[in-house]
Structure 1
Amino acid sequence: MAPVVAAGNSSAWDRVGFWSPNTASVDWCESNYAVSFYIAEFWNTISNVVCILAATLAYFSFPGTERRFQFLFATFGLVGLGSTLFHGTLRHKMQLLDELPMLYSATMILFILVEAKYGPRGKWFPIVLAAWIATTTFIFSITGGQLQFYTFQSTYTALQFGMIYLLRVLHVQQRSIHGPNPAVSMLIRRAFASGFFAITIWLIDLRLCEWINGVGPRSLLKWNPQLHAWWHVFSACALYHATMIIIFYHFDVHGQRPYVDQVCGYIPVIRLLKPKGKLIR
């Protein structure tokens, strides 16, 4: 099964490599095997280290032991690992290891936000979500080509809009109770700015590849800026900051006094304050 969603016509300059032929449903703008015979998309592959580092930091800085968050951080790490395998091989099975953890993490975020806003929903809610995960896993495992690509994109986008809506509702609710929180506002600005930039360059890389690939006759650039690799960097940044907001409001609605701390003066993490003002790390 050859890729049917290609970023422009960059495939004309692709090389044959260790994992050839490609069987993924999408091929990005980076020329294949241009750097290494063993790595299909070199820069798209190594850029995933940012996602893995962000997931690791979130896991070890989380001020608690709740399994829902442990599972969430684990799926974030799997997204980075799966994306590494996907871009390194451009094989369909490796693509699933990239996309399915994205859906799992988005579903877990939905679960956390719904319960933060409306309280525990009972046993039926996680059962429904588990059935949803099983269904999407089955569908994406047996489909390919355009159907698989656009079904995944629409499903994941819908989950992201659900996350944004619930975060907005929680933000307005808690702000009306406690007043403005400059630290949380900073998290929101960073999440929005990095997310908007990430989506913009993702679309440019997918839709305008022939104008920016650095190798074609229509390219306006003499070198490829590797926008999909930068998408990995900025989307990981956006997701990390959004996760910090989710953690903050999860504890805030339970009256546990969350606090935005800064690692190295810039990287935000969530801490909890004890009744006497001692910081829980």
Structure 2
Amino acid sequence: MPFPFIPYPSAKTGYWSPVTSTLNWCEEVRNVVMAWQKSWELTFIQDYYATVYAAEIVNTLTNVLFMWLGIKGIISCRRNQHDQIFLVAYLGYLLVGTGSFLFHSTLKYPMQLVDELSMIYTTCLMAYASFSYSRSTRVRIILAISLLSLAVFITLYYHYLQDPVFHQNAYALLTAVVVFRSVYTMEKTLRPRFRKTREEDRLAREKKGLPVPTKEHQHYENVRDTKTIKTMWFMVGYGLSMFLGGFFIWNLDNQFCTQIRRWRRTIGLPWGIFLEGHGWWHIMTGIGAYLYIIWGIWLRHCLNQRQEEYHLRWARAWHIPEVVRTSPPVGENGVTRDKKST
């Protein structure tokens, strides 16, 4: 049976025309004109080749994953009673996917700002969640004002420059800072050899009026936290590989756009969809960003000494992970045990 081949349709006049965005991605093109360039060829970009309602159909539809994961995360936060900052982060994540959906549908400059700046705002929220933990109210207020001022500065300066490189660098720098901070907190708090010595921990517990753990229970906590860190590191590596892999594919899309367009026209639809680099960027960064928020939620519960109340549900690497509330353990007499007891 021969493989299906559907030729790419001709470009149409779009419902949202004209294009006002400062960016246009490497989706299909139908018109080619000759001009004085290094290659003697200038590609005249035409969108709306599939439907008049979406300028870039693949880049538009790949954001559905973003939107679905955002809604899933919001529902999970409410159902499992995670900290409110992560509910707000998921709302920002949903805004990123929705903004990108609208931007690639319309290629309008206002939608471009919604798409790109919501990435900055969501990362600032995660920065607040990472740096504000266990801080005083005064420090939290200062941190919130500082991050808000940074977000406003990036917004205004980016609108003034209209240079996507500035946005990409700002987003990459913010993300790197937040990830490194979270890794430092994870290692310092959960890695047994980096925690307080047993005697320091016993004195701290006694001072706070908390029960002092037995040697057996301390060993149990060390084994539990070591296993937790191992899984967290896998999650960090998985998410980072998604980000970097998506960026690599997108960069190939930018560097070899003309050739990739020729390949897509040669193999036709539906196979040409798999050569849409920016669409892969949406899918892979959507998964990577979702993994990072899940990691942040799980880490916060660990920092709050609530490891026994929550667990990570992630049976396979290709499944969608979720931090869920664990049922209270039940003793031999059928009575729910206090998780703080030792």
Which bracket does the TM-score occupy, shorter chain normalised?
Answer: 0.7 to 0.9
Structure 2 residue 296 is the aligned partner of structure 1 residue 246? yes
- Equivalent of 1:256, from 306, 311, 318? 306
Partner secondary structure for residue 180 of structure 1? helix
| TM-score normalized with structure 1 length | 0.83
The answer to whether the 8 A contact 1:213-1:221 is kept is no
| TM-score normalized with structure 2 length | 0.69
Structure 2 residue 233 is the aligned partner of structure 1 residue 233? no
Structure 2 residue 157 is the aligned partner of structure 1 residue 136? no
Per-residue deviation, 1:46: 0.9
The answer to whether the 8 A contact 2:96-2:118 is kept is yes
Per-residue deviation, 1:189: 3.3
Partner of 1:10: none
* Larger RCO of the pair (alpha carbons < 8 Å, separation 6+): 1
Per-residue deviation, 1:172: 1.9
Partner secondary structure for residue 266 of structure 1? coil
The answer to whether the 8 A contact 1:256-1:273 is kept is no
How many equivalent pairs are there? 260
One-letter identity of the residue aligned with 1:180: K
Per-residue deviation, 1:107: 0.5
Q: How does 1:19-168 map to 2 (within 5 A)?
A: 19-31=16-28, 32-62=47-77, 63-64=80-81, 66-116=83-133, 119-120=135-136, 121-144=139-162, 148-168=163-183
| Partner Cα separation in structure 2 for residue 202 and residue 215 of structure 1 | 16
Partner of 2:187: 172
The answer to whether the 8 A contact 2:132-2:140 is kept is no
Return the index of the structure with the highest Cα Rg: 2
The answer to whether the 8 A contact 1:187-1:244 is kept is no
One-letter identity of the residue aligned with 2:226: G
Partner secondary structure for residue 314 of structure 2? strand
The answer to whether the 8 A contact 2:86-2:293 is kept is no
One-letter identity of the residue aligned with 1:152: H
One-letter identity of the residue aligned with 1:229: G
Cα distance per residue 1:89-147 (max 9 Å; x no partner): 1111110110111010010111111123x634331111111222222222333442xxx
| Shift in alpha-carbon separation, 1:35–1:151, aligned structure 2, 3 A | same
Partner of 1:8: none
Partner secondary structure for residue 260 of structure 1? strand
One-letter identity of the residue aligned with 2:84: R
Per-residue deviation, 1:274: 6.5
The answer to whether the 8 A contact 2:312-2:321 is kept is yes
One-letter identity of the residue aligned with 2:167: F
- Equivalent of 1:268, from 321, 329, 339? 321
The answer to whether the 8 A contact 1:212-1:221 is kept is no
One-letter identity of the residue aligned with 1:167: S
| Shift in alpha-carbon separation, 1:151–1:140, aligned structure 2, 3 A | same
The answer to whether the 8 A contact 1:256-1:272 is kept is no
Partner of 2:209: none
More displaced 10-residue stretch of structure 1: 28-37 or 222-231: 222-231
Partner of 1:6: none
Per-residue deviation, 1:243: 1.0
Cα distance per residue 1:72-102 (max 9 Å; x no partner): 1111001011001100111111101101110
Partner of 2:197: none
Partner secondary structure for residue 24 of structure 1? coil
The answer to whether the 8 A contact 2:158-2:167 is kept is yes
The answer to whether the 8 A contact 2:89-2:125 is kept is yes
Unaligned runs of 5+ in 2: 1-9, 29-46, 193-224, 331-335, 337-342
Partner of 2:246: 198
Unaligned runs of 5+ in 1: 1-12
Per-residue deviation, 1:168: 2.0
Per-residue deviation, 1:221: 7.1
Q: CA RMSD in A?
A: 2.6
One-letter identity of the residue aligned with 1:28: W
One-letter identity of the residue aligned with 1:25: T
| Shift in alpha-carbon separation, 1:213–1:175, aligned structure 2, 3 A | farther
| Partner Cα separation in structure 2 for residue 272 and residue 38 of structure 1 | 42
The answer to whether the 8 A contact 1:211-1:221 is kept is no
% identical aligned pairs: 22
